[in-house]
Amino acid sequence: MKKYLPFLLLPVFLAACGGASAPQTSFKDSFMEGCIEQDSDKELCSCVYSELEDKYGKEHLEKVGQDESLADEEMVEFIATSTMTCMGIR
Protein backbone atom coordinates (compact mmCIF):
# COMPACT_ATOMS: atom_id res chain seq x y z
CA MET A 1 0.00 0.00 0.00
CA LYS A 2 2.79 2.42 0.87
CA LYS A 3 4.21 2.22 -2.64
CA TYR A 4 0.90 3.58 -3.96
CA LEU A 5 0.65 6.47 -1.49
CA PRO A 6 2.41 9.02 -3.73
CA PHE A 7 -0.22 8.41 -6.38
CA LEU A 8 -3.02 8.65 -3.84
CA LEU A 9 -1.78 12.11 -2.87
CA LEU A 10 -2.06 13.42 -6.43
CA PRO A 11 -5.83 13.95 -6.16
CA VAL A 12 -5.16 15.79 -2.89
CA PHE A 13 -2.87 18.14 -4.75
CA LEU A 14 -5.41 18.68 -7.50
CA ALA A 15 -8.17 19.24 -4.93
CA ALA A 16 -6.02 21.94 -3.34
CA CYS A 17 -6.08 23.60 -6.77
CA GLY A 18 -9.69 24.57 -6.38
CA GLY A 19 -9.80 27.23 -9.07
CA ALA A 20 -11.63 30.52 -8.98
CA SER A 21 -14.92 29.03 -7.79
CA ALA A 22 -13.37 27.63 -4.61
CA PRO A 23 -13.82 29.52 -1.34
CA GLN A 24 -10.87 31.64 -0.29
CA THR A 25 -8.88 28.98 1.52
CA SER A 26 -5.11 28.90 1.46
CA PHE A 27 -3.43 26.30 -0.69
CA LYS A 28 -1.74 24.93 2.42
CA ASP A 29 -5.03 24.51 4.27
CA SER A 30 -6.64 22.82 1.26
CA PHE A 31 -3.64 20.55 0.72
CA MET A 32 -3.44 19.53 4.38
CA GLU A 33 -7.18 18.92 4.65
CA GLY A 34 -7.25 16.80 1.50
CA CYS A 35 -4.13 14.90 2.49
CA ILE A 36 -5.45 14.04 5.95
CA GLU A 37 -8.84 13.06 4.47
CA GLN A 38 -6.95 10.45 2.42
CA ASP A 39 -5.97 8.82 5.75
CA SER A 40 -2.42 10.11 5.50
CA ASP A 41 -0.49 10.94 8.63
CA LYS A 42 -0.47 14.67 9.46
CA GLU A 43 3.31 14.54 9.79
CA LEU A 44 3.64 13.10 6.28
CA CYS A 45 1.29 15.73 4.87
CA SER A 46 3.26 18.50 6.57
CA CYS A 47 6.52 17.11 5.26
CA VAL A 48 5.27 16.95 1.66
CA TYR A 49 3.83 20.46 1.88
CA SER A 50 7.12 21.78 3.30
CA GLU A 51 9.00 20.19 0.40
CA LEU A 52 6.60 21.87 -2.03
CA GLU A 53 6.93 25.24 -0.36
CA ASP A 54 10.73 24.99 -0.23
CA LYS A 55 10.91 24.29 -3.95
CA TYR A 56 8.11 26.47 -5.32
CA GLY A 57 7.51 29.13 -2.66
CA LYS A 58 4.30 29.97 -0.87
CA GLU A 59 3.32 32.70 -3.35
CA HIS A 60 3.56 30.37 -6.35
CA LEU A 61 1.61 27.62 -4.55
CA GLU A 62 -1.18 30.09 -3.80
CA LYS A 63 -1.28 30.97 -7.52
CA VAL A 64 -1.46 27.26 -8.37
CA GLY A 65 -4.34 26.97 -5.92
CA GLN A 66 -6.24 29.56 -7.95
CA ASP A 67 -5.20 28.28 -11.39
CA GLU A 68 -4.42 24.57 -11.56
CA SER A 69 -3.06 24.94 -15.09
CA LEU A 70 0.08 26.29 -13.39
CA ALA A 71 0.65 22.83 -11.88
CA ASP A 72 2.81 21.20 -14.51
CA GLU A 73 3.89 17.59 -14.79
CA GLU A 74 7.17 18.38 -13.03
CA MET A 75 5.28 19.61 -9.96
CA VAL A 76 3.10 16.49 -9.87
CA GLU A 77 6.21 14.28 -10.14
CA PHE A 78 7.86 16.34 -7.40
CA ILE A 79 4.93 15.58 -5.09
CA ALA A 80 5.34 11.85 -5.70
CA THR A 81 9.10 12.05 -5.08
CA SER A 82 8.61 14.20 -1.97
CA THR A 83 6.07 11.74 -0.60
CA MET A 84 8.54 8.89 -0.95
CA THR A 85 11.29 11.00 0.61
CA CYS A 86 9.08 11.97 3.54
CA MET A 87 8.14 8.31 4.04
CA GLY A 88 11.82 7.35 4.12
CA ILE A 89 11.49 5.26 0.97
CA ARG A 90 13.87 7.37 -1.04
The overall pTM is greater than 0.85: no
**Rounded to an integer, what is the distance from CA 52 to the centroid of its chain?**
7
Structural domain of 19: 2-86
Task: State how many domains the chain has.
Answer: 1
Q: Could you read off the pLDDT of 14-73 as tens digits, one per residue?
A: 555 554 445 567 899 988 988 888 888 999 999 999 999 999 999 999 998 888 888 888
CA–CA distance, 75 with 7 (Å, rounded to integer): 13
C-alpha distances in Å from residue 75, one per residue of 1, 23, 24, 49: 23, 23, 22, 12
